[in-house]
Amino acid sequence: MTLGLFIPCYIDQLYPQVGQATYTLLTRLGHQVEVPEKPACCGQPMSNSGFAKAGAGCLTDFAREYARFDHIVSPSGSCVLHLKESLEAQHSPLAHRVYELCEFLHDIAKVDSLPARFPHRVGLHQSCHGLRGLGLGSPSECRVPAFSKPARLLQMVAGLELVPLDRCDECCGFGGTFSVFESDVSVSMGRDRIQDHIRHGAEFITSADMSCLMHLGGLLSRQAPQMKVRHIAEILAGTEELAMDGHGLP
C-alpha cells in the first residue's frame, strides 16, 4: 500500500523537520510514501477568509494528484479538516481517504507501540480543528466518554510525561488569518494558553497542528524562550536531536 503524503505550504517552507519526521515515521512503520509534485496548499486560508472560490483551484490540484492513493496522510489537522469537508461537499470519494497523521496511526495503521523516546514534561495542545472537527478526541463541552488519539500515541513514547492543563481544550487563538486581522484577541488567547502550560511545568507544547504551534511558538520565543514547541510527529518519530537545532535537517 502506497501512502500519499500531503505537506501543507507553511510546513514545507518553514517547518521542513515536521514533514521529515512524518515521512520518517511512516516509512519506519513500513509504508511506502510518495509526495506528488504539485499541490502545495489545501485552500483553507482563502476559504476561511471568505474567498472559498479563489481557493477552489487548490482542491482541484489536490484531487488530481492524490486520486491514485488509497490513503492520504498529512501532519496538519486543520488542513485535513478543510480537505475532508470541501471534498465531501463535492461528493468526492477522496474525502474519506484523507487522514490527519494521528488519526491514521490510531485508526488505520493501529499502532500500539512506538520506538520513540522523549524524556520531557509535555503539554498537549488539542487543536480545535483536530479535536472538534476531526474528532481526534472528546471535546470538553460534550458528555461523551473521554478519549484522545494524540494523547494515546504520546503515551507510547518512552520517558514522556503528559502534563494536565486547567483548560484542556481551549483554542490557542491562531485561527488562520484571524491571528492577523484580530491580533489583539489572538495574542491574548495565545498567552493564556501558554500560561496554562507554564503553570503545569511543561517543557514542551505539542500538537497535531503546526499552525497552532507556529502561533504559540512565536509568542514563546518573545516571552518564555525556555519553553519550546514540537509537532507531535517530531516526538513520535523520536527525532528530538534532529529537531533541537530548529532547522532539523541532517
Partner 1 sequence: MTHSAAAHEFQRDPARAAWHDQTLWMVRAKRDRMAARVPEWEQLREAASQIKEHTLSKLADYLEQFADTAAANGIHVHWAADGDEHNRTVHSILKKHGARKLVKSKSMLTEECHLNPHLEKHGIEVIDTDLGERIVQFQKMPPSHIVMPAIHLKRAEVGEVFHEHLGTPSGLDDPQQLTEAARQHLRSHFLTADAALTGVNFAVAETGGFVVCTNEGNADMGAHLAPVHIASMGIEKIIPRQAHLGVFLRLLARSATGQPSTVFSSHFLKPRPGQEMHIVIVDNGRSRQLARSDYRKSLACIRCAACFNTCPVYRRSGGYSYSYFISGPIGSILAPNVDKAAHASMPFASTLCGSCTAVCPVKIDIHTQLLKWRQDITAAGHAPWWKKAAMHTTAFVVRRPALFRLGGWFMRRTTPLLNLLRLDPWTQSRDLPPAPAQTFRQWHNQQSNKK
Which residues 64-123 are close enough to bind partner 1 by CB under 8 A? Answer: none
Tell me what percent of the chain is helix, strand and coil, each rounded to the nearest 5.
50, 15, 40
Given candidates 2, 68, 107, 140, which one binds partner 1 under the rule CB under 8 A? Answer: 140
For residues 92 and 36, give the distance between their C-alpha atoms in angstroms, rounded to a whole number.
Answer: 19
CB of residue 132 to partner 1, shortest distance in Å: 4
Given candidates 29, 67, 156, 187, which one binds partner 1 under the rule CB under 8 A? Answer: 187
Pairing of strands 161-162, 2-5: unpaired
Given candidates 31, 84, 132, 149, which one binds partner 1 under the rule CB under 8 A? Answer: 132
CB of residue 108 to partner 1, shortest distance in Å: 22
Given candidates 28, 68, 96, 167, which one binds partner 1 under the rule CB under 8 A? Answer: 167
Residue with grid cell 503515551, as numbered in its chain: 155
Residues in region 190-249 near partner 1 by CB under 8 A? 190, 192, 214-215, 217-219, 221-222, 246-249
Three-state secondary-structure class, residue 227: coil
CB of residue 113 to partner 1, shortest distance in Å: 26
Given candidates 2, 28, 54, 155, which one binds partner 1 under the rule CB under 8 A? Answer: 54
- Count of CB atoms situated within 10 Å of the CB of 107: 12
CB of residue 187 to partner 1, shortest distance in Å: 5
Given candidates 3, 25, 31, 55, which one binds partner 1 under the rule CB under 8 A? Answer: 55
For residues 209 and 191, give the distance between their C-alpha atoms in angstroms, rounded to a whole number.
Answer: 18
Q: Where are the alpha helices (DSSP H) in 104-182?
A: 128, 149-154, 178-181
- Count of CB atoms situated within 10 Å of the CB of 183: 12
